[in-house]
Amino acid sequence: MEGKTLHTCMELKKIAELYLSELLDRGIRLHQHIITVEQEFYNSTSSGHSDPFHQKPDFLTGFEKCVEKVIEGAVTLLKSLQQDLDEDQIAMLISIASHGFTNLKELHEKGLESVPRPAVPIELRRFTRIIAEHVFKEPDLRIALYVKESVSESAYASDPLGEFREKSLKSFVEYFDSIPYLESIEHLTNNADSTIDITIPRIDSRNPATWPTLFHEAAHSLLTNEILNNQTFSHQFAADLNANLIKEIERLNINLESWTTEVWCDYFAAYVIGPSFFFSQYYAFLAIPNRDPELNKSHPPSFLRLKLISSFLEHRYPLVKEAKIANLIQKRIRVLEIVEKRNSGSVEIDRALRIFSGEMRMISREMFFSGSDPKAKQFRERFKEMTDYTGQIEMQSLDLIFNELKLGLPTPSIRIDDDYTHERPTSVQEVLLAACLVRDQSLIHDTIETVVSNNDPTSIFLSKSLARYERLDAAILRSLQLSEWLFMFKQKPSEDFLSGLPTPETVRTVCSSALTDREIYTLLKSGEIRITPLIDVKEQLGSCSLDIRLGTSFEVFIPATRRPSGFHCIYGDSYESKRIDLDFLENISLLPGEFMLAHSFEYLKLPDWIAGDLDGRSTYARLGLEIHMTAGMIDPGFEGTTTLELFNAGPNAIRLFPGVRIGQMRFRTVTPPQFPYSKKRNAKYGDQLQHHQSMYQSDREYEVIYKEMRKRETKGG
């Protein structure tokens, strides 16, 4: 008996650690959102110092401190778990953590109402389009997203303005149309476009690991009587049960139609996006702790829904049975069972929940797997291509994406074999599942390790954590973003089109001003030079160069006429600029005499014995375009996207599209330096996924100058 108690205590401690790490994750996410608000509205300087013209308000500072207190509490609880605790003490920690989730929920829903709302990230807009085009296979379908303070996602039955247009505007339209010489405005009250209207919490708008939950909300809008054969879910549910079983269900005193609808929408989301939905729904359930001792009338218990989702995925996708994924799923179900299963203590309720679960499984098999009804077959055929693909995801491919994302590298494509020039675009399903695995197995694990092994103050801990979070998010977003272009550009892998290729070892011994096509191709194939993604090597490879493409983000500078005075001058000029992220097939015009920063489409990784030289292509040079301003050298060991300094020296505007081959890169062998770029202490621009503004103020010369200026300013002369 003592051994069983010890085992239970150890299990409970693991559950508590996982639950507390999720509280910490949620707090860091909310803090990350506050930092985004501060950067967009109250800190316009590139130097990182406070700008007196953009001071953040006291309220935002107070809000930030509140979130930090919750984070500090989660850190303290995690540290206390390292002590020898009994079951009651661990249960108490879990209960306190539940209050922490409630605090974060209230801070989000009440505090953020008074905080400016940053622009919706364009990556989220891209994601909704990817859903429509590559998941639903309906390019004309529009998914309208509304970022809100509520922490739960929701779906509108119709356009949120529909009721206003139909009712409030109706009388105005009737009066207007009664005037004979005015053109009719009846179209104001029409709402016939194919749009799915859903909301997402502000805290999750920049967190791609939570985005699969949007499929559940989309299902609410897609749910029609046609799918249900003109019956309600509750009617279909009860049709297969005898009178005694129906009485068992009635004892739950729930809204059966709402319960069955919620579970069906879970099934639909799991069907179309795959296993990543389980993890995103788990995060969503944690964000809204259930403190009601009674069963929720409109929603089934969260742990029950996770069990049903898990069972559905196991039946549909073999990948879920792999130990790496199966263990994560079972642990998370167990977390919610322990945290929330305080309302199903009676035998009667447990029996009724089992009956409900069994019947929902029967309905899922009829609709999603083997039902013979013509409408069920038509439904499955509509999503067949997408679900078949998800079912074919292999663990090997997932591991490749996992390993790259873990390093903070974008993975819009993965190699088909050991040849790095043979790649295929990654899918939404693959990237999001790999992202969930990286989050759970690496990001949160590292966060726990940081808490347990260090005694850093909250500010230092947050700084380290935010850097990890931002890097992973950026890698995931870049993967989703670039893979869309790859679907358009990518051709079938071609056989080697060059003959007489040297070995990588032979290339090392080459002493030439520039490597030739065979030598570059050899290094690309072997992965010595990594280009991610390499879209079409046959098209991009020149006789002694490799074309690079234009990325998706641009820094447009605004003439800064306002300058701080006095002491603030020591921090240098405040360069006003605006970052513009282009969506798929959008373009930007570079006007005559205009300068802007951009970046390469590709992520470059050079060995320490290869240096690069960047230059423009003749095609664009003839338009007057310069792509670098004296900074064309790429050091050995460099890793990251290449920043482009675009300048229009011509007489006309130049229209630029992301993905076009904007420049060319030459490579040459060098003797490996003692400190390649990746190991230089003062390297400022390595590992970047997009361009970065000038960081000249971090040069040692400026540090010395500013120190002396501060000294003189303080003395008054």
Structure tokens at 365: 């098999």
User: Which letter does DSSP use for residue 611 in this model?
Assistant: E
Tokens of 688: 């970047």
Nearest CA-CA partner of 530 in 428, 641, 432, 633? 641
What pairing do the DSSP bridges indicate for beta strands 142-148 and 195-201? parallel
Compute how many other C-beta atoms are within 10 angstroms of the C-beta atom of residue 500: 5
Which of 690, 696, 680 has its CA nearest to residue 642?
690
The three-class DSSP label of residue 318 is helix
CA 33 – CA 203 distance, rounded (Å): 6
DSSP codes joined into one string, 614-676: EEE-HHHHTTTEE--SS--EE-TT-EEEEEEEEEE-SSS-EEE-TTSEEEEEEEEE-PPPSS-
> CB within 8 A of 161, min separation 6: which ones?
none
Instruction: Name which of 123, 147, 35 is nearest 432 in CA terms.
Output: 123
> What is d(CA 714, CA 303) in angstroms, rounded to the nearest whole number?
62
**Total residues found in the chain within this entry:** 717
- Contacts of 18 by beta carbon, 8 Å cutoff, 6+ apart: 331, 332, 335
Order of strands, sheet of 154-155, starting from the edge strand that comes earlier in the sequence: 142-148, 195-201, 154-155
CA 542, 546, 550, 555: dihedral to nearest 10 degrees?
Answer: -130
Task: Tell me whether residue 398 is exposed, middle or buried, using C-beta atoms within 10 angstroms of its C-beta: 0 to 12, 13 to 18, 19 or more.
Answer: buried
CA distance 597 to 693: 8
Report yes or no: 545 and 664 within 8 Å, Cβ to Cβ: yes
**C-alpha to C-alpha distance for 152 and 374, rounded to whole angstroms:** 35
Cβ atoms 423, 415 nearer than 8 A: yes
Q: For residues 358 and 345, what is the distance between their CA atoms, to the nearest angstrom? A: 19
Q: Is 430 a catalytic residue?
A: no
Q: Which of 645, 701, 703, 708 is catalytic?
A: 645
Helix (H, G, I), strand (E, B) or coil at 541: strand
* Residue with tokens 């249900």, as numbered in its chain: 228
Q: Quick one: residue 253, left, alpha or beta (phi over 0 = left, psi -120 to 50 = alpha)?
A: left
How far is Cα 70 from Cα 92, in angstroms, rounded to an integer?
A: 17
Question: Three-class SS of residue 524?
Answer: helix
Residue 647, token pair as written in the block: 């300048």
Q: Which two tokens stand for residue 10?
A: 């150890």
Residue with tokens 């482009």: 644
Instruction: Please state, as a whole number, how many other Cβ atoms lie within 10 Å of the Cβ of residue 302.
Output: 24
CA 478 vs CA 82, 428, 430, 472, 602: distances in Å:
38, 12, 14, 10, 10
Type and span of the H or E element at 597: strand 595-605
* Alpha-carbon span 485 to 490, nearest angstrom: 8
* CB atoms inside a 10 Å sphere around CB 542: 14
DSSP summary character for residue 274? -
Active site residues: 645
